[in-house]
Structure 1
């Protein structure tokens, strides 16, 4: 009897121990690309031969130098949603089996509409927004525990907290939510930012569960809002389970000794650049704790493509923001982007291309004529307008106009719009989770905040705001580090004395900032002239910048006076934009302005006129 029990135990444990992971964990029927690469991971699994039931066709089986991996590619063309079974055999004897599922896609999944210029994106630092479930602040499966007293520690913000405050975000006028990455990051310290991920199929347990992430998406959609995933293609974290047992040495970019990227993204297109500099930019590691993924390895790139598509289907996503986009292998990242947009032609992806030249940023947008010179196309729908962000960080302290000072800096940014293939599909922002806080730079000057947000709300592109700007949150990154620009939102934690999520809990200053922001951004929701209209602007005079956003049937005139003194100007200069309009209804005050008369605008103030 003992021998039988021991034998059964041996068989049972060998079966379950043989496969530790299957990724993707399941897939969907009816995808544009019918080929599916399934990674099976387990001790010496590559010693087995693999077959599959239900007449599923295996197109390829790849074994790597690590016998713990098998990459099996099947053809799902014309295969309906169903379960089937993989069998793993050795010496013609089945050792173990594994069920796999093809699930039914949501109706019209392929034609889902991504975020666009009609949206306002609300960016939050996921760990610092709101703690909706204090029970998950620490988890035994991950190393770093919750410690709100530590500026760079885990503070407990989570998905539950986001869900609980979606109505606040909607009240502000935002229509899309971008949380910083939510997948597991098992770094021993500083893991709260989650850009060094250790499992890209699993939500970090300190944020919640995969199911809660799906719930977040569902709750947003109930409110006609969208969910954007912060996706990382360039690197994983050093604690990623695959990094600890690499399928192959070329899964990562490897060097004889640690080699950091030179961060010189210009080497990606500089015709004079040396190969060694370009390689160091693309292949060098961002930091020691973030191993650099080799997107030129077809197994790696397919893994990343499928992971991205899986999340879109599983969580019903509306878009991606891709971290450090221009540090990736150029060809590999273009293939990744095309694979995603081939599956979802109306899906939007914005890449972080942190450069300070419009030509250099425009190079990375899909169908760039600049990149076409070298026969390159990134396939990336959207890039971030970092040059406008540069202007935001200084221009409102430039009270006097000059040849290259004051509002001319903003004007000149837009003179280069011709460089972008799709100017309406670039992301504009005053600040984000990596930049200095606007309200720190300008010392919570409400007038300057109004000018910046008015500009953001009315120029071309997709506006993005950073959590807490709307309640005057500040913080000095230069003196106190990243934690200063990623502070906890007041009221997001039980026991907070100041609850800025509610009108009753806000200070007078917080209420002043919030009321203006909500009025401005809710107005923007319904004005298609500032969504997709054309732009006509006029060279700033006396530090006063005037521009129009217009369609065939609607026109908005924006006036920004960056001088400290009131300015009066004639409207005759703008007749080619004013046309036959007679009255300008001021959005913020409700006053009517006769467009035949001179207009006076107070110092450091704005006018938003809907022309009638």
Structure 2
């Protein structure tokens, strides 16, 4: 009887003390990963007073920080098989309690997953503003901000189920890849809908759905032969993140004597050989905003935490790519290690970084194997960057009706003259706008001819095209006058009870208007053609200096050639085929995939004012 009582009391003690482990992250891992060194974080009140042992597993290191509520356990997982191990927490060489931890079986061929590339077209959404598929999760008891669709800066209720419900729409449009702005929990009391101030890196925001819903989104997309990109934030977390409230180390984040200091946003200080150290620190260590503590990627524990977190989501959700927010604000050596670790794990994966700069050399500095970066022995290992200089040009070109030395189509031409700076020019993201810029149709005042010219360029030049949700139906939005909410309007028809449903064609009751249909039909036609036209994905770009605001270029390989003509002039223009013999070669005719008309390219022909042609040469 006495021995039974001792056992019962021991079990009670073990159960009681085990409750002090509040979090174990990552919540589980996989056997057979490329990197065998794995770090487990255990969090709980005064947990560091215990020692750790794991039978049959090599413990490489146990790190205890100045905060007694953390233990970081580094394991060698090379010999670990799928199953559950027991982590024993000991005191005075006696086991006080144990924590089970699971290693799962990896998906077959997981390491060789192929990321997005120039054969893809990326469709960018803000999930809160795209479609509401589950009205029950618009607000949630565990998050502060509640749904208020009348507030342009509030949460509107879009969610993962809403995206799943409209995957057929994206497929039909010709999009092959979805990039959603972040879906992880953001528990800020206001403006949490953008989800860039995250409060839990292992949890989908419950107002969007569950972790399993996110896995299901990827699965449903893969059934349609589509890809999913996660928007990942390395530079900052949200002020309500549970670890920010109880920092593992003081230098987990960048801190300033005065408390808050905003970044000076001068990313050039990352490589400027003349930059002062104070200015460089002011950019990289300054906070992006008051609610976004700046993470210290030079802290090895933090760097390892976010590296494993990104890999966890790739493996768990079966992702096809990452887009990294504010990439060039990170500690550059730290973010390079983060990027390389992911690419080492998944060699054919793709990651695109937001390097919002206005000079090609400065952007090319960040692409993998950059010769510019090599000047100061730096390699970011980042496969792809975003072509912001092309975006800069696109926001003005088609409002410049007459060409001069530096206006009109010459701006597009000049952008591509600097392609030699990039080590992999086909792996550049090209876009007319995104969730941080004025909408392209606002800039061009809803002029569909200007939209067609802009999108002709985006869809046929080198790189990976990305469009922003709603551009394909002519949506407007001006952040300069009305704030961010105006460029992040709800997609019409995404909510039950919407008076109009732009997911449906114009021949349906309450479907797209005739104007919306014109935008949509053009986009759909070109994108579905592009999907099956490999010469546009990787063909050589041959461009000619624009004359009379007419820009002509070719995309060609050994099998096929495409001639693109963009007439940004207010008058019809004659095309002198003699000038373009280098691209036309011995081709006789071309079919314009926009109008389905056939053109004799052996003699002069006319292109109408403010129009474009995409000629498949034969």
What TM bracket, shorter-length normalisation?
over 0.9
Counterpart secondary structure, 2:379? coil
Shift of 1:9: 9.7
State the partner residue of 2:565: 559
- Show CA shifts across 1:299-355 (max 9, x none): 000001100000000000000000000000010000000000000011000000000
Of 422, 426, 429, the match for 1:427:
429
Q: Is the contact made by 2:15 and 2:97 (CA closer than 8 Å) also made in structure 1?
A: no
Cα distance, 1:9–1:32 mapped onto 2, change above 3 Å: closer
Shift of residue 599 of structure 1?
1.6
Within the candidate set 533, 543, 546, 1:540 is matched to: 546
Native 8 Å contact 2:128 2:193 kept in 1: yes
Tell me how far apart the structure 2 counterparts of residues 259 and 446 of structure 1 sit (CA, whole Å).
44
- Deviation of 1:4 after TM superposition, in Å, equals 10
1: CA distance between counterparts of 2:211 and 2:256?
35
Does the CA-based 8 Å contact 1:586-1:592 persist in structure 2? yes
Cα offset, 1:591, TM superposition:
1.4
Aligned to 1:173: 174
Q: 1:78 Cα shift?
A: 2.8
Task: Give me the whole-angstrom Cα distance separating, in 1, the residues matched to 2:74 and 2:10.
Answer: 32
Compute the RMSD of aligned alpha carbons: 1.4
Unmatched segments (≥5 aa) in structure 2: none
Secondary structure of 1:95 counterpart:
strand
2:514 maps to 1:508: yes
Judging changes above 3 Å, is the alpha-carbon distance between structure 1 residues 4 and 497 closer, same or farther for their aligned structure 2 residues? farther
Cα distance per residue 1:34-61 (max 9 Å; x no partner): 01100000111100011113x1111100
1: distance between equivalents of 2:592 and 2:442?
A: 29
* Residues 157-201 of structure 1: per-residue CA shift (max 9 Å, x gap): 000000000000111100000000000000011000000000000
Q: How many residues align?
A: 610
Q: Aligned partners of 1:15 and 1:488: how far apart in 2? A: 48
Deviation at 1:8, TM superposition (A): 8.0
Aligned-residue offset at 1:5: 13
Aligned to 2:579: 573
Q: Report the equivalent of 1:92.
A: 93
| Residues in 2 aligned to 1:600 and 1:590: alpha-carbon distance in whole angstroms | 16
Counterpart secondary structure, 2:19: helix
Match of 2:533 in 1: 527
2:67: which partner in 1? 66
Supply the distance in 1 between the matched residues of 2:95 and 2:428 (Cα, whole angstroms): 54
Post-superposition Cα deviations, 1:208-251, rounded to whole Å, max 9, x if no partner, equal 00000000000000000000000000010000000000001010
| Other-structure match for 1:608 | 614
Task: Give the equivalent residue in structure 1 for 2:221.
Answer: 220
SS in 2 for 1:434: coil
Please report how far the alpha carbon of residue 7 of structure 1 lies from its aligned counterpart in structure 2 after TM superposition: 6.2
1:16 positional shift? 3.8
Distance 2:333 2:6 in 1: 57
Report the Cα distance in structure 2 between the residues aligned to 1:188 and 1:52, rounded to whole angstroms.
Answer: 41
Q: Deviations over 1:484-504 (max 9, x none)?
A: 000000000010001001112
Q: Deviations over 1:81-125 (max 9, x none)?
A: 121100111122222111111111111111100000000000001
> Residue 49 of structure 1 aligns with which residue?
51
- Superposition map of 1:207-356 within 5 A: 207-257=208-258, 258-356=260-358
Distance 1:232 1:581 in 2: 49
* Cα distance in structure 1, aligned partners of 2:480 and 2:385: 26
- Counterparts in 2 of 1:434-513, with a 5 A limit? 434-503=436-505, 504=508, 505-513=511-519
> 1:437–1:475: 8 Å Cα contact kept in structure 2?
yes
> Whole-Å Cα distance in 1 between the matches of residues 477 and 600 of structure 2?
42
Q: Which residue of 2 aligns with 1:101?
A: 102
Q: Relative to structure 1, is the Cα distance of residues 155 and 4 closer, same or farther in structure 2, using a 3 angstrom cutoff?
A: farther
For residue 414 of structure 1, what is the aligned residue in structure 2? 416
Q: Over residues 533-581 of structure 1, what are the superposed CA-to-partner deviations in whole Å (9 max), with x where a residue is unaligned? A: 1000000000000000000110000000001110012100110111111
Separation (CA, whole Å) in 2 of partners of 1:124 and 1:379: 27
Residues 18 and 99 in structure 2, CA contact (< 8 A), matched pair in contact too: no
Distance 1:62 1:11 in 2: 26
Q: Which portions of structure 1, spanning 4 or more consecutive aligned residues, are displaced by more than 4 angstroms?
A: 3-10
2: CA distance between counterparts of 1:349 and 1:430? 20
Structure 1: gaps of 5 or more residues: none
> Matched residue of 2:230: which SS?
strand
Q: State which of 2, 17, 30 in structure 2 corresponds to 1:28.
A: 30
Q: Whole-Å Cα distance in 1 between the matches of residues 210 and 184 of structure 2?
A: 10
Q: 2 CA distance for matches of 1:410 and 1:601?
A: 19
Q: Matched residue of 1:531: which SS?
A: helix
Q: Distance in 2 between matches of 1:330 and 1:45?
A: 33
Distance 2:517 2:595 in 1: 17
Contact in 1 for aligned 2:138/2:157 (Cα 8 Å): yes
* Contact 1:114-1:319 at 8 Å conserved across structures: yes
Structure 1 residue 82 and structure 2 residue 88: aligned?
Answer: no
Specify whether residues 215 and 45 from structure 1 end up closer, same or farther in structure 2 by C-alpha distance, changes over 3 A only: same
| 1:235-272 deviations in Å (ceiling 9; x for gaps) | 10000000000001010111111111110000000010
TM-score (structure 1 length as normaliser) = 0.98
Give the Cα–Cα distance (whole angstroms) in 2 for the partners of residues 249 and 10 of structure 1: 36
Report if aligned partners of 1:179, 1:228 keep a CA contact under 8 Å in 2.
yes
Within 1, Cα distance between the matches of 2:184 and 2:272?
Answer: 35
Cα distance change of structure 1 residues 12 and 73 upon mapping to structure 2, 3 Å threshold: closer
* 2:403 pairs with one of 396, 401, 404: 401
Q: Secondary structure at the match of 2:298?
A: coil
CA distance in 2, matches of 1:472, 1:153: 23
On the 8 A contact 1:17/1:43 being kept in 2, the answer is no
Contact 1:131 1:157 in 2 (8 A): yes
TM-score, normalised to structure 2's length?
0.97
3-state SS in 2 of match to 1:20 = strand
CA contact (8 A) 1:587 1:609 kept: yes
- Other structure's SS at 1:102 match: strand
Using the alignment, how far apart are the partners of 2:106 and 2:14 within structure 1?
34
**Counterpart for residue 152 of structure 1:** 153
Alignment of 1:381-392 (within 5 A): 381-392=383-394
Deviation at 1:14, TM superposition (A): 2.4
**Alignment partners' CA distance in 1, 2:325 and 2:343:** 17
> How far 1:10 sits from its partner (Å)?
6.2
1:411–1:539 contact (8 Å) kept in structure 2 = yes
